[in-house]
Amino acid sequence: MPTPSLLSSVSTAGIDEAERLAVWERYNAEALVGLTCRTYEPEGLLARQVNVALGSVRVADITGNPHVIERPPGLVESRPKEATFVSLLLEGEGFFYSSTGCLTVGAGDVVVYRTDRPYLFGFGRPMRQLLVDVPHDVAGERCAGAGADGPQAIDGRGSSAPAVTAGALRELLLGGLADPAVAGESVGEQVLDLVAAMTAGRRSPVDAARTHRAKAHVLDHLQDPGLDADAVARAVGVTARHLNRGFVAEGTTVTQFIQRQRLERARRDLVRRPAASDRIGDVASRWCFASQAHFTRLFRAAYGCTPTQYRTEHTARA
């Protein structure tokens, strides 16, 4: 998988308070989109942004104290940008105002909107968002209709299919940005598939049956080091991109499904006799993780503790 490519970053910390808004606006105009910014916090705007490239999409990781950003009609005309933005709010709460009305969002929610239309996005508490920047030509090909009829808000905290998909997108982005050593399809390609599924949510019976066959193939070949999305797709007779669309309708991707199944088998081996006496590295190798360190990072993210801690706790209980 291509390593996420750092494009640029900025922080207003250390900048004179009187200059922070201007610096933030200039940076966004060059790196993301032309906008204006305001805050009424006594300390002024305290914000940070990191922009990376993931294939054909870009992702901005943005944190800040309470503030409002606006893309008014004048900026839409003077600084044109044709893209669809997918904002995943990780922390805080906010409101999105446009000509179609006002949307309120909380942590876990998603807003999908176009940059060629005016909008205002406000945050009433300290916030963090992951902002996916999808060019219009890419969105039209892979995510047709996303934001076309006006801003879309997806409740990411429920159990609906769009909510589950929003969670998978959040997991994918955080994992891809934090740990590029993940096998499988390009993160950027998976992002596009998840956005398409989240905003459309359609799946045919043929896709459902194919997904079922693909899952069975994965479960039968988990200890095969060559098992990846391409191999599974070949086994069921479609391209990896086509197969992935069936998985994203269930809020995951082929790569994520393989990884979760391997993690679950490894978790069982940590405490199941006779494998419970195996070294951690042996368990990691058996289930095709690139290294013990990589296995430990993924295990901690999935289960909240290291493999050693998990084994110690559950062996003591036994």
Q: Please state which architecture CATH assigns to domain 206-318.
A: Orthogonal Bundle (1.10)
For residue 258, pLDDT over 70 is answered with yes
Cβ-contact 295, 267 below 8 angstroms? no
Q: Is 219 left (phi over 0), alpha (psi -120 to 50) or beta?
A: alpha
Q: What is the mean pLDDT of residues 218-237?
A: 94
Q: Which CATH class is domain 5-178?
A: mainly beta
Q: What are the residue ranges of CATH 2.60.120.10 in the chain? A: 5-178
How far, in Å, CA of 54 to CA of 1, rounded?
10
Read off the pLDDT of residues 16-25 as tens digits, 9 standing for 90 and up.
999 999 999 9
Q: For residue 143, with 0-12 CB atoms within 10 Å meaning exposed, 13-18 middle and 19 or more buried, which class applies?
A: buried
> Which one has a higher pLDDT value, 265 or 188?
265
For residue 59, pLDDT over 80 is answered with yes
How far, in Å, CA of 130 to CA of 128, rounded?
7
How far, in Å, CA of 176 to CA of 288, rounded?
19
Q: What are the residue ranges of CATH 1.10.10.60 in the chain? A: 206-318
Read off the pLDDT of residues 118-154 as tens digits, 9 standing for 90 and up.
999 999 999 999 999 998 888 776 765 666 667 888 8
pLDDT computed for residue 117 by the predictor: 95
Q: Is the peptide bond before 151 cis (omega within 30 degrees of 0)?
A: no
pLDDT category, 291, cuts 50, 70, 90? Answer: very high
Q: What is the mean pLDDT of residues 256-270?
A: 93
Q: Is the pTM of this model over 0.75?
A: no
